Amino acid sequence: MSAPVQGGPLKVGAVIITMGNRPAELRALLDSVAGQDGDRIEVVVVGNGAPVPEVPDGVRTVELPENLGIPGGRNVGIEAFGPSGGEMDVLLFLDDDGLLAHKDTAELCRQAFAADPELGIISFRIADPDTGVTQRRHVPRLRAADPMRSSRVTTFLGGANAVRTRVFAEVGALPGEFFYAHEETDLAWRALDAGWMIDYRADMVLHHPTTAPSRHAVYHRMVARNRVWLARRNLPAPLVPVYLGVWLLLTLARKPSGPALKAWFGGFKEGWATPCGPRRPMKWRTVFKLTRLGRPPVI
Q: pLDDT above 70 covers what percent of the chain?
A: 96
Q: What is the average pLDDT score of the chain? A: 95
Distance CA(179)–CA(73), nearest Å, equals 9
Distance CA(12)–CA(164), nearest Å, equals 9
Task: Quick: pLDDT tens for 110-123.
Answer: 999 999 999 999 99
Q: In this model, does residue 181 exceed pLDDT 80?
A: yes
CA atoms within 13 A on the CB side of 201: 23
Beta bridge mates, 46: 17, 62
The average pLDDT across 108-137 equals: 97
Contact yes or no for 214/260 (Cβ under 8 A): yes
Q: So what's the pLDDT on residue 212?
A: 73
The confidence band for 5, taking pLDDT boundaries of 50, 70 and 90, is very low
Position 208, amino acid: H
Q: In this model, does residue 279 exceed pLDDT 60?
A: yes
Q: So what's the pLDDT on residue 1?
A: 62
Q: Distances in Å between the alpha carbon of 225 and those of 44, 184, 267, 280, 293? A: 30, 15, 4, 18, 26
Distance of CA 278 to the CA centre of its chain: 20
Q: So what's the pLDDT on residue 3?
A: 42
Tell me which of 3.50.50.60, 3.90.550.10, 3.30.9.10, 2.40.10.410 is the CATH number of domain 12-211. 3.90.550.10
Q: So what's the pLDDT on residue 215?
A: 52
Distance CA(150)–CA(101), nearest Å, equals 17
pTM: 0.95
For the chain, domain boundaries: 12-211, 214-279
Q: So what's the pLDDT on residue 217?
A: 57
Q: In this model, does residue 16 exceed pLDDT 70?
A: yes
Q: pLDDT above 90 covers what percent of the chain?
A: 94
Q: So what's the pLDDT on residue 4?
A: 43
